[in-house]
């Protein structure tokens, strides 16, 4: 926001094409996106605005704007009539957005806060005047025009304006953009998700603990979800360094680190590389350390052929593989299990947001990284949660060994629980987390 004008920045770099919208709130940015469409659909407005060479090269350009989410994207793509039409994702861009757009044969634009070329100012009066037409055309609620406080790029450790917004991105040391959620106030609890998921896998825990007075933070690992799809750095050292960058950027102190599956490896490597000076407690849930791969020193591990098959499945048809993997992940392949198609769909959707490179590389990271020494460096109270029917990360070679390697760790085994127990046994996991945090 600059004075009484909402500034829209448009890059003239045609490869890749990018756009950034800067407004007063996420909701208002969404509205401004549609208002941009309203402007360029107007001949006079289009002729008076420099919105990029590719757009101007078409005699009747159309710009469509969507929010991330496959169903929303598809509904908006139904509006498009020409493969040359532009589709804008103002939410930092996701793998899902690009995937769906590609399936529909449409050109795609995502946000990039580091590239700015052309400025188009829209006055508040024009916004309100145009807003009437937009509300009529799209049925948008008028409260979106309300004056709202601007979220900070680095969320403050207090206040109710935290949560998902376009600025919730940090830049790793190699330039990779790491997306994160930051909700609530109080003592920080930082979550690291499993493969091939995103921060959304923690929604049940984040909502529960946020309502109990904790500040809950979760990021999308590089190559996953809404974070950058980096070619390099998809290994445990860099994952841990990205987590350290997040913790340092937000200046978190006395944080509790919670990791599930691969995320548990990320937490362990963080403590191994960066120590526990900012950490008060740790929780490992169905986590991969110390080592999943069968070796001479780890005879209880899984043979390399298991992970080679996972890699081959990701390359051949990762979409179908993620659908199939959701069954044992949540124990839905067990006799008498109550299957949730919604949970399976969410698993697939999160998996498809990962880049194929990030998903592929991460298999080596979670299976072949020996974290025995990392676990020995734990010097904070640690809770270990795992089901005894974990078909993805066997309990005997993970949770049981962790409890022996980590000093004074507490192991709690859930009878019959699968790998995805944060979802299938969410109430029990939430209660145990709360008890541990209060202890």
Interatomic CA distance for residues 196 and 96, integer angstroms? 13
**pLDDT tens digits along 278-324:** 999 999 999 999 999 999 999 999 999 999 999 999 999 999 999 99
Q: Give tens-digit pLDDT for 260-282.
A: 999 999 999 999 999 999 999 99
For residue 299, what are its two tokens? 């005879």
Sign of CA dihedral 381, 386, 391, 392: negative
Would you call 261 a catalytic residue per the annotation? yes
Q: What is the DSSP string of 216-258?
A: EEEEPPTTSTTS---SS--SHHHHHHHHHHHHHHTT--SEEEE
Q: Do the strands 86-89 and 63-65 form a parallel or antiparallel pair, or are they unpaired?
A: parallel
pLDDT tens for each residue of the chain, 439 residues long: 333 333 333 333 323 333 333 333 344 444 444 444 444 444 333 333 333 323 333 334 344 444 444 444 454 555 554 554 455 544 444 444 455 555 555 554 444 333 333 233 334 444 344 444 444 444 444 343 333 333 333 344 444 444 444 458 999 999 999 999 999 999 999 999 999 999 999 999 999 999 999 999 999 999 999 999 999 999 999 999 999 999 999 999 999 999 999 999 999 999 999 999 999 999 999 999 999 999 999 999 999 999 999 999 999 999 999 999 999 999 999 999 999 999 999 999 999 999 999 999 999 999 999 999 999 999 999 999 999 999 999 999 999 999 999 998 999 999 999 999 999 999 999 999 999 999 9
5 is an active site residue: no
CB 45 within 8 A of CB 136: no
Q: What pLDDT is attached to residue 58?
A: 32
For 169-438, which CATH class?
Answer: alpha beta
Q: Give the burial class of 424: count Cβ atoms within 10 A of its Cβ; 0-12 exposed, 13-18 middle, 19 or more buried.
A: buried
CA–CA dist 21, 112 (Å, integer): 10
- Written as six digits, the tokens of 220 are 């999308």
Specify the pTM: 0.66
Q: Which of 25, 33, 97, 261 is catalytic?
A: 261
Rounded to the nearest angstrom, the gap between the alpha carbon of residue 154 and the centroid of all alpha carbons in its chain is: 17
**CA atoms of 348 and 326, how far apart (whole Å):** 8
* CA–CA gap between residue 285 and residue 261 (Å, rounded): 6
* Domain residue ranges of the chain, discontinuous segments joined by +: 5-145, 169-438
Residue given tokens 């904790």 in the structure block: 214
CA angle 268, 269, 274 (to 5 degrees): 105
Active-site residue, 158 included = no
Average pLDDT score over the chain: 75
**pLDDT at residue 141 in the model:** 43
The answer to whether residues 227 and 239 touch, using CB atoms and an 8 Å cutoff, is: no
Write the DSSP assignment of 104-153 as a string of letters: HT-EEEE--TT---EEEEEEHHHHHHHHHHHHHHH---GGGGS--PPPPS
Judged by phi (left if over 0) then psi (alpha if -120 to 50, else beta), residue 233 lies in left
């Amino acid at each position: 926001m600059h004075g009484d004008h909402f500034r829209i920045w448009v890059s003239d770099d045609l490869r890749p094409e990018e756009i950034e919208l800067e407004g007063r709130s996420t909701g208002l940015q969404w509205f401004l996106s549609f208002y941009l469409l309203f402007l360029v659909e107007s001949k006079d407005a289009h002729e008076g605005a420099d919105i990029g060479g590719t757009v101007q090269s078409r005699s009747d350009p159309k710009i469509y704007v969507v929010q991330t989410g496959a169903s929303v994207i598809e509904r908006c793509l139904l509006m498009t009539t020409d493969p040359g039409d532009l589709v804008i994702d103002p939410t930092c861009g996701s793998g899902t957005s690009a995937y769906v757009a590609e399936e529909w044969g449409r050109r795609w634009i995502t946000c990039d806060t580091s590239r700015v070329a052309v400025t188009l100012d829209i006055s508040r009066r024009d916004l309100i005047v145009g807003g009437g037409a937009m509300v009529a055309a799209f049925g948008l609620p008028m409260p979106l025009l309300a004056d709202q406080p601007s979220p900070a790029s680095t969320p403050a450790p207090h206040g109710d304006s935290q949560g998902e917004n376009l600025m919730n991105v940090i830049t790793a040391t190699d330039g990779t953009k790491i997306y994160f959620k930051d909700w609530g106030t109080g003592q920080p609890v930082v979550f690291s998700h499993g493969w091939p998921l995103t921060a959304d896998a923690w929604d049940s825990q984040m909502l529960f603990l946020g309502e109990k007075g904790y500040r809950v933070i979760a990021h999308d690992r590089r190559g996953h979800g809404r974070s950058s799809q980096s070619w390099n750095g998809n290994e445990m050292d860099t994952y841990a360094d990205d987590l350290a960058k997040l913790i340092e950027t937000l200046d978190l102190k006395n944080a509790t680190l919670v990791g599930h599956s691969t995320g548990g490896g990320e937490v362990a490597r963080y403590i191994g590389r960066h120590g526990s000076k900012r950490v008060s407690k740790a929780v490992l849930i169905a986590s991969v350390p110390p080592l999943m791969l069968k070796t001479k020193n780890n005879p209880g591990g899984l043979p390399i052929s298991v992970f080679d098959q996972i890699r081959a499945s990701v390359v051949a048809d990762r979409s179908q593989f993620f659908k199939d993997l959701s069954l044992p992940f949540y124990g839905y392949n067990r006799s008498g299990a109550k299957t949730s198609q919604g949970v399976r769909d969410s698993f697939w959707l999160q998996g498809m947001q990962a880049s194929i490179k990030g998903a592929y590389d991460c298999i080596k990271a979670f299976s072949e990284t020996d974290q025995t020494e990392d676990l020995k460096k734990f010097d904070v109270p640690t809770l270990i949660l795992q089901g005894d029917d974990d078909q993805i990360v066997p309990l005997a070679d993970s949770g049981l060994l962790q409890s022996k390697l980590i000093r004074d760790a507490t192991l709690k085994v859930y009878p019959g629980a699968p790998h995805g127990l944060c979802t299938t046994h969410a109430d029990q996991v939430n209660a145990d987390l709360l008890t541990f945090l209060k202890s």
